[in-house]
Amino acid sequence: MTGGGLRLTTGAVAGTEGVAARLGERLRPGDLVALEGQLGAGKTVFVRGLAAGLGVDPALVKSPTFVLHHVYGSPPRLHHLDLYRLGPGARIALLDLDGLLESAPAALEWAGFADLEPWQPLRLLIEITGDEARRIEAAEPERAPARLVAAWRAAVAG
Ligand SMILES: Nc1ncnc2c1ncn2[C@@H]1O[C@H](COP(=O)(O)OP(=O)(O)OP(=O)(O)O)[C@@H](O)[C@H]1O
Ligand SMILES: [Mg+2]
């Protein structure tokens, strides 16, 4: 179920984890995945999949809503951030994203709260379309690095 190769609908948690794992396999330090979507959309589930794709035990992935930042793996393999607590207009400068990205890729929940333009993220929107159905789509792919868009396309293609 793809549209232009940049979106898909998953029918269960495993589907979301699967496409995220295929993306995770292709991520490198410096890559930023910006996740947007309402409460319970599946952003943390998606990060669990990214972790698996990066060789990190997905059971380590916790919702960082109250922590702002988790790092998985040693040396770091994935940074997991969440702007929920900072709210709209979040001051991303507080998080030293540049420093974090030197060591590993990063996934950011509630990414819509900050202006991430300077970091050229791959923006993924997750929408609840049914009890267990989630539409996951790359937003404004023309603004994301071509390699990340290609990685997402490959993940969607399976
Ligand atoms: N296809 C699916 N993909 C992802 N999650 C699903 C799917 N179907 C059902 N779910 C359920 O949706 C919920 C997603 O929760 P998750 O914590 O990942 O959301 P979130 O977007 O991170 O929310 P928050 O904004 O609170 O951080 C889980 O309870 C999960 O079991
Ligand atoms: Mg979450």
Q: What is the CATH number of the domain that holds 56?
A: 3.40.50.300
What distance in angstroms lies between residue 110's CA and the mean position of ligand 2's atoms? Answer: 8
Structure tokens at 116: 């991430």
Does residue 107 have its Cβ closer than 6 Å to ligand 1? no
pLDDT of residue 123: 98
Give the 3-state secondary structure of 49-107: HHHHHCCCCHHHCCCCCCCCEEEECCCCCEEEEECCCCCCCCCHHHHCHHHHHHHCCEE
Instruction: Report which bound ligand comes closest to the CA of 63.
Output: 2
Flag whether 1 is in a domain. Answer: no
Answer whether residue 87 is part of any domain. yes
Number of structural domains in the chain: 1
Token look-up 């023309």 returns 142
Residue 126 lies in a domain: yes
Q: Whose CA is nearest to atom 26 of ligand 1?
A: 39
- pLDDT for position 67: 75
* 9 Cβ inside 6 Å of ligand 1: no
Residue 101 lies in a domain: yes
Supply the pLDDT for residue 45: 98
| Residues within 5 A (CB) of ion ligand 2 | 43-44, 63, 109
| pLDDT for position 1 | 44
pLDDT at position 148 is 98
Q: Is residue 158 part of a domain?
A: no
Residue 73: inside a domain, yes or no? yes
Residue 69 to residue 51: CA distance in whole angstroms:
14
Residue 2 lies in a domain: no
Alpha carbon separation from 102 to 74, 87, 98, 131 (Å, rounded): 14, 25, 7, 38
Ligand 1 centre and the CA of 147: distance in Å?
27
Q: What token pair was written down for 26?
A: 């292709």
Identify which ligand lies nearest to the alpha carbon of 39. Answer: 1
- Both tokens of 129, joined, read 């379309």
User: Does residue 152 contact residue 158 with C-beta atoms inside 8 Å?
Assistant: no
pLDDT tens, per residue, the chain with 158 residues: 445 799 999 999 999 999 999 999 999 999 999 999 999 999 999 999 999 999 999 999 987 667 789 999 999 999 999 999 889 998 888 889 999 999 999 999 999 999 999 999 999 999 999 999 999 999 999 999 999 999 999 999 99
Q: How many CA atoms within 13 Å lie on the side-chain side of 134?
A: 25
- Please name every residue paired with 27 in a beta bridge, in sequence order, or none if there are none: none
Contact between 66 and 44 under an 8 Å Cβ cutoff? The reply is no
101 CA to centre of ligand 1 in angstroms: 25
Which residues pair with residue 70 across a beta bridge? 80
Round to whole Å and give the CA distance between 24 and 51.
7
> 41 CA to middle of ligand 1, Å?
5
Residue-range definition of the domain harbouring residue 23: 7-153
**Residue 76 domain flag:** yes
